[in-house]
Structure formats: structure tokens, C-alpha cells
């Protein structure tokens, strides 16, 4: 009788484990499908804005639409990374930031600015939960967009450096350009963008500082 009871208990445990694994797989598939649909919906909105931008003659309106498109693309990239990855909650920071910045470089390639050389120094082992990397992505989007719009207009060779490293539980993000370093002008011209940077930094519990030297240096630090 004891052998039968033990055998039956083991059978029930195995059956429960199999059911849990199947449920986990189903949830993973559903979550991937959700990320895929969100990404597609965001791309539809992006395309609609593109149609509107082509019909818009006002330069300020075009700039506003472009800024909105960049923010949408920043979020869409998070969902695209999660859809393509085997992980359901974490995104590799290195590839995400590179893709985001390269997208921004293409968006502003038509502007009358000097050629920009971008240098990445990103620790490749850093992963963040999708909600945190989305917020950080929006911060980086605003900083890099401001650099393309304001920092490189008069520079013979624009240089943008992006450095991200993790030490213990702290992550440090540095975005630096070799523009004229006019902090007051940046704060004035990019008022909404700078407000978003500070609001989003506070939202994710990060410390944000802006330094002026031979260019502009943005420093964001936060705990994982």
C-alpha cells in the first residue's frame, strides 16, 4: 500500500509539473504575441504621423511630429526586442541603445548639420526590465535628439559619445557631445525635452546632471 501511495504521489507531482510547464509556455507565447501587436500598433501610428508630416508645411509642426515619432519608436523598439528575445521581461541594453541612436541619426540625417561620428562604450552584460529600459530609452532619445538638433550645427566634425557601465547595483550613463556647450540655449530651445528628461529621471529614481565643458555632458545614475 505504501509503495502504491508513493508511486501515485510521484505521478501526481510529475503531472502537476508538466501542467505548470505547459502553462508557462502558453503564457510566454501570449506575451510574445502581445509585444508583437503593441509594436505593430505603434508602427501604424508612426506611419500615420509620417503621412501627416509630409503634408505639413510649417517647420515647427514638422519638428513636433518628428519628436513624437522618435518617442513612439523608442517604445516600439522595446517591444520589438522582447518579441525577438527568448526572455519575457528583460532587454539587452547594448543592442537596444545602439539601435535607438542609429535610428535617430538617420532621422536627423536630412538636417543641415555637420557629419556626426558616434562612439559607443556600453557594457554588454547589462540587462534591464522592459519598463525601466523604456523609460531610460526615452531619456536617451531626448538627449541625443537635442544633440542632433542643437549641438552640431556649427561643428566641423560632430562627435557623440555614449558610455554605459554597471558597478555593483549602480548603472551610470554618460552622453557627451563636442558642440558649443551652450547650456542656457539648450534649456531654452529644448524646453519640453529637458522637462521630460528630468521627469523621467525622477520617475525611475535616477539622478540626472548636466555639465558644460568643451561640449555638453549628460550624466544619469540609477540603481538596478
- Closest Cα to residue 124, out of 79, 161, 172, 164? 164
Question: Helix %, strand %, coil % for the chain, to 5?
Answer: 60, 20, 20
Q: pTM (2 decimals)?
A: 0.80
Q: Tell me the longest C-alpha to C-alpha distance in the chain.
A: 88
What is the chain's pLDDT, residue by residue, as a tens digit (224 residues)?
Answer: 655 556 566 666 667 677 766 665 665 566 667 666 777 787 888 888 888 888 888 888 888 888 888 888 888 888 888 777 767 678 899 999 999 999 898 888 766 556 789 999 999 889 998 889 899 999 999 999 988 887 776 667 788 999 999 999 999 999 999 877 666 666 555 577 888 899 999 999 999 998 887 788 999 999 98
If you search the block for the grid coordinates 506611419, which residue do you land on? 47
Q: Please give the backbone phi and psi of residue 123, each rounded to the nearest 5 degrees, phi first.
A: -60, 120
Amino acid at each position: 500500500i505504501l509503495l502504491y501511495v508513493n508511486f501515485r504521489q510521484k505521478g501526481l507531482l510529475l503531472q502537476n509539473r508538466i501542467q505548470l510547464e505547459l502553462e508557462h509556455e502558453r503564457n510566454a507565447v501570449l506575451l510574445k504575441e502581445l509585444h508583437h501587436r503593441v509594436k505593430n500598433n505603434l508602427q501604424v501610428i508612426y506611419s500615420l504621423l509620417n503621412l501627416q508630416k509630409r503634408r505639413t508645411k510649417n517647420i515647427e509642426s514638422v519638428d513636433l511630429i518628428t519628436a513624437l515619432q522618435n518617442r513612439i519608436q523608442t517604445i516600439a523598439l522595446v517591444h520589438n526586442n522582447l518579441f525577438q528575445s527568448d526572455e519575457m521581461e528583460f532587454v539587452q541594453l547594448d543592442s537596444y541603445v545602439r539601435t535607438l541612436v542609429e535610428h535617430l541619426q538617420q532621422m536627423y540625417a536630412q538636417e543641415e548639420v555637420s557629419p556626426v561620428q558616434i562612439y559607443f562604450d556600453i557594457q554588454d552584460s547589462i540587462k534591464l526590465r522592459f519598463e525601466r529600459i523604456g523609460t531610460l530609452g526615452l531619456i536617451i532619445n531626448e538627449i541625443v535628439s537635442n544633440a542632433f538638433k542643437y549641438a552640431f550645427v556649427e561643428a566641423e566634425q560632430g562627435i557623440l559619445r555614449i558610455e554605459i557601465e554597471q558597478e555593483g547595483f549602480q548603472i551610470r550613463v554618460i552622453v557627451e557631445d563636442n558642440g558649443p556647450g551652450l547650456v542656457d540655449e539648450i534649456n531654452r530651445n529644448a524646453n519640453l525635452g529637458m522637462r521630460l528628461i528630468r521627469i523621467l529621471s525622477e520617475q525611475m529614481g535616477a539622478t540626472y546632471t548636466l555639465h558644460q565643458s568643451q561640449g555638453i555632458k549628460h550624466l544619469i545614475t540609477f540603481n538596478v
